Amino acid sequence: MRRAPTLLLLAPVLLVLVPLFGGALLFGAARSLGHMPEIGMDGWSLAPWREVLTDPQTWRALALSLWIAAAATALSLVAGTALALGLARPFRGAGLARLLVQVNLTVPHLLAGAGVLLLLSQSGLAARGAAAFGWIDAPAEFPALVWDRAAAGTIAAYVVKEVPFVTLLALSTLASLGPGPVEAARTTGASRWQALRFVTLPALAPTLSAAGAITFAFAFGAYELPALLGASHPLALPVLAWQKETATSLTERPEAMALALMTAAVAAGLVGLVARARR
């Protein structure tokens, strides 16, 4: 029986992804090397990279973005796994609860960010609730969760978005695992915690590490949420890059591209390391 050659099957995806994704990165790499003919910069130079790598702002931005991504990923994984374990067991209204948890999957990040802003800013709905209870008298007494240096608001918005994602993936893994292995462990004398530690979590590990990698890469490199919810200093790496991309001085464009490529490289590198460590 004749089969279509594998390469032919792969071709449609390759023909779209390689030129768009690879082409864009190549184009960006050229610009980050100071190649921008439209403003008369025809040559090649390492100056934009030198400028970016010696600027203390870059390193503070990198540290902030790592913090945002790590905190958002850790919180999302823990909360998402716990929620999945809770939803996996039957209880009254479990179907409705599942549906409610899934709602945020359909909520765009920008909208989640807007909601966090209107909820958690020092004059937001939560602060107003606190004032109504007499806990605070002025906005300044409410904790600074938004536009703060620790990026609490940004992290909260990512968690709100990514917990449902982790939950859904974990739930489907639990469903395919079935109750059998855990019951078997329990009948042979394992405690509930031991069953969780030695049976359920190892079964979930591949799913969780994939979900974690996707969450980390996204929270590390996305622009909208730190732009909306972040402080004036330090800036998240993508915000710093975009600030240079829209700076009025054209000569900053190559630096913007170098920062964007650096963001991509760091995320890809870290995800690669995790993947290698898991093997």
Does position 254 interact with other proteins (CB under 8 A)? The reply is no
Taking CB under 8 A as the binding criterion, the range among 7-15, 46-54, 179-187, 190-198 that sits at the site for other proteins is 7-15
Does position 121 interact with other proteins (CB under 8 A)? The reply is yes
- Altogether, the residues listed in the chain come to a count of 279
Helix axes 94-102, 56-88, angle to 10 degrees: 160
| Residue whose token pair is 């938004």 | 146
In whole angstroms, how close is the CB of 180 to other proteins at the nearest point?
A: 15
Does position 39 interact with other proteins (CB under 8 A)? The reply is yes
- List binders of other proteins among 65-104 (CB under 8 A): 79, 82-83, 85-87, 91-94, 97-104
- List binders of other proteins among 15-34 (CB under 8 A): 16-18, 20-21, 23-29, 31
In whole angstroms, how close is the CB of 83 to other proteins at the nearest point?
A: 5
User: Binders of other proteins: how many residues, by CB under 8 A?
Assistant: 123
Pairwise CA distance, residues 191 & 200, whole Å: 13
Question: Whose Cβ is closer to other proteins: residue 102's or residue 189's?
Answer: 102
Does position 204 interact with other proteins (CB under 8 A)? The reply is no
H-helix segments, the chain: 6-17, 23-32, 47-54, 56-88, 94-102, 109-120, 125-132, 152-177, 180-187, 192-195, 201-221, 224-229, 237-245, 253-278
Answer for which of 74, 190, 209, 223 binds other proteins (CB under 8 A) is 223
**Which phi and psi (to 5°) does residue 121 adopt?**
-65, 165
Does position 277 interact with other proteins (CB under 8 A)? The reply is no
- List binders of other proteins among 131-160 (CB under 8 A): 131-132, 138-140, 144, 147-149, 157, 160
Question: Whose Cβ is closer to other proteins: residue 185's or residue 255's?
Answer: 255
- C-alpha separations of 147 from 213, 226, 236 in Å: 26, 9, 12
**Which phi and psi (to 5°) does residue 238 adopt?**
-65, -30
Answer for which of 54, 176, 187, 188 binds other proteins (CB under 8 A) is 176
Yes or no: say if 228 and 117 are a contact pair by the CB < 8 Å rule: yes
Pairwise CA distance, residues 154 & 201, whole Å: 28
Question: Whose Cβ is closer to other proteins: residue 40's or residue 189's?
Answer: 40
Largest separation between any pair of C-alpha atoms in the chain: 79
In whole angstroms, how close is the CB of 184 to other proteins at the nearest point?
A: 20
The angle formed by the CA atoms of residues 271, 273 and 278, to the nearest 5 degrees, is 95
Does position 173 interact with other proteins (CB under 8 A)? The reply is yes
Taking CB under 8 A as the binding criterion, the range among 45-53, 182-190, 191-199, 226-234 that sits at the site for other proteins is 226-234
